[in-house]
């Protein structure tokens, strides 16, 4: 069965050059522009299916351009929200992607100078995780995702040379790492320690085994 892939472009830092190269051979079933992510859609001349947010950080000329665009392209849906809302634009976009029955969600623009937003966006990956949807945040240097079950990694498909594991939950019980430079055997990881930072896969494939809890996995290029 064909996997349904959805791309979200949101309001953090996005290198247009990187995004252009990254998306060149990618195919998505829907593209969601969240707030300032619409500017990246414009710069890359991407087709867009959903435009959403409070639009407090979108250049006014870009927003007006796409308001006119939707009049001619009725399939494009615009959802505007009050800036004084409980959810971030990224959370709304992720919720929409899950409602659209995505099998995979790729998010660009979820990292940048706002560390509060970055931390929130990593936590928001918990929404698709609980629905068995693979979701990841990608930028020029990192690929970030969550796991709550045994996972096999292929070395030649990793985003970068380094791989770090951090507990999202208070504890992640009985973590075993096989095929890594620094292996572990049934080690319980706790919030407040850094033992999982900067590991490397040394076999053609590696396994992360865990009994319970949620791990943040970061594949880094440098």
pLDDT in tens, 61-88: 998 898 887 877 778 898 889 878 889 9
Do 101 and 175 fall into the same domain? no
HSE-CB at 49 with a 13 A cutoff on CA atoms is 13
Q: How many domains are contained in the chain?
A: 2
Q: What is the pLDDT of residues 151-195, one digit of tens each?
A: 999 999 999 999 999 999 999 999 999 999 999 999 999 999 999
41 by Cβ neighbours in 10 Å (0-12 / 13-18 / 19+) ranks as buried
Q: Is residue 145 part of a domain?
A: no
Task: For the chain, give the number of residues.
Answer: 222
Task: Report the C-alpha gap between 23 and 77 in whole angstroms.
Answer: 22
Q: What percentage of the chain carries pLDDT values higher than 70?
A: 100
pLDDT digits 0-9 by tens, 38-61: 999 999 999 999 999 988 888 889
Whole-angstrom Cα distance, residue 112 to residue 123? 16
Q: Which of 90, 106, 92 is nearest to 11 (CA)?
A: 90
Query: What's this model's pTM, rounded to 2 decimal places?
Result: 0.94
Final residue belonging to a domain, choices 84, 114, 140? 140
Residue 98 shares a structural domain with residue 191: no
The reply to whether 29 and 135 lie within a common domain is yes
42 and 114 share one domain: yes
Statement to judge: residues 70 and 131 lie in one domain: yes
Q: Which CATH number characterizes residue 214's domain?
A: 2.60.120.320
Q: Report pLDDT for 99.
A: 97
- Domain range for 54 is 5-140
């Amino acid at each position: 069965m064909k996997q349904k892939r959805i791309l979200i472009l949101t309001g953090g830092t996005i290198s247009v050059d990187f995004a252009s190269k990254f998306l060149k051979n990618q195919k998505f079933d829907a593209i969601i522009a969240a707030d300032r992510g619409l500017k990246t859609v414009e710069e890359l001349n991407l087709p867009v299916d959903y435009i959403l947010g409070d639009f407090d950080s979108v250049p006014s000329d870009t927003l007006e351009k796409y308001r006119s665009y939707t009049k001619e392209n009725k399939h494009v849906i615009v959802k505007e929200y009050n800036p004084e809302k409980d959810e971030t634009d990224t959370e709304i976009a992720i919720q929409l992607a899950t409602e659209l029955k995505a099998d995979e969600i790729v998010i660009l623009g979820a990292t940048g100078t706002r560390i509060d937003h970055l931390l929130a966006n990593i936590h928001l990956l918990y929404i698709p995780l609980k629905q068995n949807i693979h979701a990841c945040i990608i930028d020029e240097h990192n690929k970030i995702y969550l796991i709550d079950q045994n996972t096999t990694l292929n070395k030649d498909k990793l985003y970068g040379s380094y791989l770090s594991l951090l507990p999202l939950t208070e504890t992640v019980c009985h973590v075993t790492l096989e095929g890594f430079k620094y292996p572990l055997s049934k080690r319980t990881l706790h919030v407040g320690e850094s033992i999982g930072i900067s590991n490397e896969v040394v076999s053609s494939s590696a396994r992360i085994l865990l009994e319970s809890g949620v791990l943040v996995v970061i594949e880094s290029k440098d």
